[in-house]
């Protein structure tokens, strides 16, 4: 019976395959085989026999491992027994030699994390590229900026996309830095001393990790220190926060009274079971909801890092859930955001309409600063323009109309000057330069120069 929505609703197949039970068991088998190969290099076993053993071991099924586990109540030992029973006795006696359970599980998890990070990295790079493309496409689309949900100075849609591109690119940088610390395995025995391998412990561990394409942990107890996993889950939480932030802004900009942005809506898509007209931003809402679940894993992951002495088992059950769900769900919302941005549509007429609907009110700062440049004190100019703006609100007139009625202002600025000041495209500061700086930096970060 399928219970979890990841099994039937959320997540991409490419990511779910990595974290499937079958994948986990195959990866654990590969760790055991890598250990046999390392032992063979030191004369414990004939190397040709290990090659033959590898083919046999990889045919061990999850069903057989679970069957043994039901009897002995230990998952890794069940795997060891399942491998051993398909091998020649001469090779079987060396399976799991000198190792402890977490040598196998932690190292197998490292390979899952490596393959997962590669997918996330490529998708993140794709999303950053899309954001940069949008920043270029819409660099001249002037729109109404908002602070506190209220009209503010003009900005451009290109500037908005550049802000999001820069934030995502910082996550890309974090991921590059994180990989070096995260993608480590171990072969260090029951308490980390490698006693079972004697003086050859470091060389055996190095060889195992080389075979698997990992780095050995600098030091470990029976488990790899969980700060590695904490940092990874924090990264996923941080990335999910940015994705939710972007999705939230898309949702706000899709509101009927704003109507500037629209996520793709299929020809036969249904928005409501009772209101046929609805075009709900369901993909953005989906991202927002799942991002909150991802961030919820930060605290239990940190709790799982607090282990007694060389280890206890309180982390195991939590991590089986945390690492799988946090990774699969992050990949899910990252994939969904790529699709949203690829198909996002801007209603340029509505953008301009909303910008001009305020009658210049959102350019009060520009008037204030122009008065200051003409010789009026900045604070006095602020008060005069504030009074004029409040009158415009009360009388439901435009700011320009009220400015032209105020002799204090007309003694400094002409009607022609005021009209120029109140053009949104004339008050964009360094928008173009800042977009250019972001795009250059992002290209450098992604190695696209």
CA dihedral defined by 254, 258, 261, 264, rounded to 10 degrees?
40
Q: What is the pLDDT of residue 342?
A: 96
Q: What is the pLDDT of residue 264?
A: 76
Task: Decide if domain 360-421 falls under CATH 1.20.210.10.
Answer: no
* Other CB atoms within 10 Å distance of the CB of residue 129: 18
Distance CA(117)–CA(109), nearest Å, equals 12
Q: pLDDT digits over 380-400, tens only?
A: 999 999 999 999 999 999 999
Q: pLDDT digits over 292-314, tens only?
A: 999 999 999 999 999 999 999 99
Q: Where are the domains of the chain?
A: 5-92, 106-184+218-268+275-354, 360-421
In this structure, which CATH number among 3.40.50.1240, 1.20.200.10, 1.10.1040.10, 3.40.47.10 belongs to the domain 106-184+218-268+275-354? Answer: 1.20.200.10
> Per-residue pLDDT for 278 more than 90?
no
Residues 195-206: b if buried by 16+ CB within 10 A, e if exposed: ebbeeebeebbe
Query: Per-residue confidence at 273, pLDDT binned at 50, 70, 90?
Result: low
Residues 19-58: b if buried by 16+ CB within 10 A, e if exposed: beeebbbbbbbbbbbbbbbbbbeeebbeeebbeebbeebe
Distance CA(64)–CA(50), nearest Å, equals 21
Q: pLDDT digits over 399-429, tens only?
A: 999 999 999 999 999 999 999 999 999 999 9
Q: What is the pLDDT of residue 2?
A: 84
Distance CA(24)–CA(62), nearest Å, equals 9
Q: What is the pLDDT of residue 266?
A: 66
DSSP 364-399: HHHHHHHHHHTT--HHHHHHHHHHHHHHHHHHT--H
Q: What is the pLDDT of residue 152?
A: 92
271 φ/ψ angles, rounded to the nearest 5 degrees:
-95, -25
Q: What is the pLDDT of residue 377?
A: 93
Tokens of 192: 């980390």
> Can you name the CATH fold of 5-92?
Fumarase C; Chain B, domain 1 (1.10.275)
- What mean pLDDT do residues 14-19 have? 97
Q: pLDDT digits over 93-148, tens only?
A: 999 999 999 999 999 999 999 999 999 999 999 999 999 999 999 999 999 999 99
Tokens of 158: 């290109």
Q: pLDDT digits over 322-337, tens only?
A: 999 999 999 999 999 9
From 4, 74, 272, 411, the catalytic residue: 272
Report which DSSP code applies to 282. H
> Per-residue pLDDT for 449 more than 60?
no
State the average pLDDT for the chain.
94
Q: What is the pLDDT of residue 267?
A: 66
Q: pLDDT digits over 166-222, tens only?
A: 999 999 999 999 999 999 999 999 999 999 999 999 999 999 999 999 999 999 999
> Per-residue pLDDT for 346 more than 90?
yes
* 148 counts as catalytic: yes
Q: What is the pLDDT of residue 281?
A: 83
Catalogue the E-assigned strands of 180-299: 184-185, 215-216, 261-262
Burial of residue 133 (CB within 10 Å: 0-12, 13-18, 19+) is: middle
Distance CA(221)–CA(226), nearest Å, equals 11
CA distance from start to end of the chain: 51
Torsion region of 249: left, alpha or beta (phi above 0 gives left; psi -120 to 50 gives alpha): alpha
Distance CA(273)–CA(135), nearest Å, equals 36
Q: What is the pLDDT of residue 279?
A: 78
H/E segment holding residue 152: strand 150-156
Does 106-184+218-268+275-354 match 5-92 at the fold level? no
Distance CA(282)–CA(273), nearest Å, equals 14
Q: Taking the CA of residue 315 as centre, how many other CA atoms within 13 Å lie in the half-sphere pointing to its CB? A: 23
Q: What is the pLDDT of residue 263?
A: 85
Distance CA(104)–CA(34), nearest Å, equals 10
* 101 counts as catalytic: no
Q: What percent of the chain has pLDDT over 70?
A: 98
């Amino acid at each position: 019976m399928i219970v979890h929505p990841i099994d039937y609703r959320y997540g991409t197949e490419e990511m779910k395959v990595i974290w499937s039970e079958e994948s986990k068991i195959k990866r654990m088998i590969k760790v055991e085989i890598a250990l046999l190969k390392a032992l063979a290099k030191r004369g414990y076993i004939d190397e040709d026999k290990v090659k033959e053993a590898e083919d046999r071991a990889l045919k061990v099924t999850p069903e057989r491992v679970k069957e043994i586990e039901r009897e002995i109540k230990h998952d890794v030992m069940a795997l060891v027994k399942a491998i051993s029973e398909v091998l020649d006795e001469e090779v079987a006696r060396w399976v799991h030699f000198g190792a402890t359970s977490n040598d196998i599980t932690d190292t197998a998890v490292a390979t899952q994390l490596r393959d997962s990070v590669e997918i996330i990295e490529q998708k993140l790079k794709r999303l950053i590229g899309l954001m940069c493309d949008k920043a270029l496409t819409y660099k001249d689309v002037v729109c109404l900026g908002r602070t506190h949900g209220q009209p503010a100075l003009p900005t451009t849609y290109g500037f908005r996309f550049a802000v999001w591109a820069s934030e995502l690119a910082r996550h890309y940088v974090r991921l590059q830095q994180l990989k070096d610390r995260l993608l480590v395995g171990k072969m260090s025995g029951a308490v980390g001393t490698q006693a079972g391998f004697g003086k050859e412990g470091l060389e055996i561990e190095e060889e195992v990790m080389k075979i698997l394409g990992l780095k050995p942990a600098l030091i470990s107890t029976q488990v790899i220190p969980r700060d590695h996993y904490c940092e990874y889950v924090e990264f996923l939480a941080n990335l999910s926060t940015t994705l939710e932030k972007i999705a939230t802004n898309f949702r706000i900009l899709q509101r009927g009274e704003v109507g500037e942005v629209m996520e793709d809506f299929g020809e036969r898509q249904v928005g409501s079971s009772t209101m046929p007209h609805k075009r709900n931003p369901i993909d953005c809402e989906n991202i927002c909801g799942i991002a909150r679940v991802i961030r919820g894993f930060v605290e239990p992951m940190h709790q799982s890092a607090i282990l007694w002495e060389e280890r206890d088992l309180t982390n195991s059950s939590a991590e089986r859930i945390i690492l799988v769900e946090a990774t699969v769900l992050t990949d899910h919302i990252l994939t969904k955001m790529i699709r949203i941005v690829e198909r996002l549509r801007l209603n340029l007429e509505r953008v301009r309409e909303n910008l001009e609907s305020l009658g210049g009110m959102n350019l009060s700062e520009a008037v204030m600063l122009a008065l200051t440049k003409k010789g009026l004190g900045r604070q006095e100019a602020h008060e005069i323009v504030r009074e004029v703006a409040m009158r415009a609100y009360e009388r439901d007139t435009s700011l320009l109309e009220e400015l032209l009625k105020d002799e204090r202002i007309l003694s400094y600025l002409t009607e022609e000057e005021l009209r120029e000041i109140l053009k949104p495209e004339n008050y964009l500061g360094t928008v173009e330069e800042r977009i250019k700086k972001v795009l250059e930096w992002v290209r450098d970060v992604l190695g696209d120069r």
